[in-house]
Amino acid sequence: MAHPLSQSCNVYSSCFAILCLVLAQSHIASSVLLVGLKNNHHHPHHGRPMLHANQTSCALFMGSWVHDDTYPIYQSSACPTIDPEFNCQMYGRPDSDYLKYRWKPANCELPRFNGLDFLLKLKGKTVMFVGDSLGRNQWESLICLISAAVPHSPIQMSRGDPLSTFKFLEFGVAVSYYRAPYLVDIDAVQGKRVLKLDDIRGNGNAWRGVDVLSFNTGHWWTHKGSLQGWDYMESGGTIYEDIDRLVALERGMRTWARWVDTNIDRSRTSVFFQSISPTHYNPSDWNAGATTAKSCYGETAPSTITTYPGAYPDQMKVVVAVIRDMNNPAYLLDITTLSAMRKDAHPSIYSGDLSPVERANPDHSADCSHWCLPGLPDTWNQLFYTALLY
């Protein structure tokens, strides 16, 4: 294999050109418009699930957060599948108003999540979330939402790496999470982890035959140092110590898109892609006067800003460009902007993984990437449920 330094000039010039083309073609709005709404249900296994209602347009992902005392739909104490890092109430979060917000699109109403309806309409089917820990966040939320509707229904649970599955045995419904932070494969080569930007066959074998697939990726592509999940990248048969991370994301996403277009029968499988979940590590993004705090710690209410705070994620421009170019595009569940308004919904220091010393130093240890359960991922699943079944 060629050494990366010997090809750096040509490669980086090519990468830069590709990135410029992607960004130039990607004038991205922060919402997805669902058009042609009617009063009949869309079959859950057609290729492009859409919302149907009242012959109008519904911009599902544009709107506001409204206080609603009927939320949350479940309690954390009644859902044993929640990981400690998401279980904010169990680990001492003193406030609870963050649980009482409902997403209201600007020009329509979302149906309330109905776990029994979900099970009946997907009877005998499989749902799988594929991606990083934000996908696991959403997977656990969906299990909790459904379980609240059928608390005495028999279940079967298996946790593993990369695959975990929760089955509602009475209905023959399986809800799985497959861990693949980059979607594409990582192989061990001479004791080193090689991120294969052009290969997804290893992971993809686990996704065949699934009825509803929901993918996500994004955060791990920017990690460096001890958080970096690979030692080298491989693309076009050449091994690299590093390349521009947006270029790497674009190459990996195009490998994913080609695999989906080639291997997924869209007449029986619905394919979703969840947009980039925002973080809240920089208070100046939502509070221009913030100068001291360095995390989401202490935030107890949503932002009232309806535009994206701070710089819109560059990863989203890549994601939208790749999905747009697919032969049969995945449905983009665009939760980025509505989630950016929820600076109050992160675990912060209320995670079971933190030591007393870490809890005392929130500027360095608060988790402002993941989300509390119950909490924001329940809304992601309400939107997922709406787009899939209505």
**Where in the sequence numbering do the catalytic residues fall?**
133, 367, 370
Locus of tokens 């608390």: 151
Of 387, 390, 384, 389, the C-alpha closest to 142 is 384
Q: What are 277-281's contacts with CB under 8 Å, separation 24+? A: 277/134, 277/216, 277/218, 277/219, 277/335, 277/336, 277/339, 277/369, 277/371, 278/313, 278/336, 278/339, 278/340, 279/219, 279/368, 279/369, 280/340, 280/343, 280/346, 280/368, 281/368
Is the previous residue joined to 162 through a cis bond, with omega within 30 degrees of 0? yes
CA distances, 186 to each of 86, 129, 198, 304 (Å) = 27, 19, 11, 41
CA distances, 385 to each of 104, 112, 297, 368, 374 (Å) = 15, 9, 31, 26, 17
Q: Give, for 131, the enclosing helix (H) or strand (E).
A: strand 126-131
CA distances, 99 to each of 71, 118, 308 (Å) = 6, 22, 22
Locus of tokens 């909490």: 375
**Residue 36, CA atoms < 13 Å, CB-side half-sphere:** 5
Backbone angles phi, psi at 307, to 5 degrees: -100, 165
Query: ∠ CA(191), CA(192), CA(194), 5° rounding?
Result: 140
The strand order across the sheet containing 126-131 reads 155-158, 163-168, 173-179, 126-131, 212-215, 270-274, 331-333
Give the C-alpha separation, 255 to 199, whole Å. 7
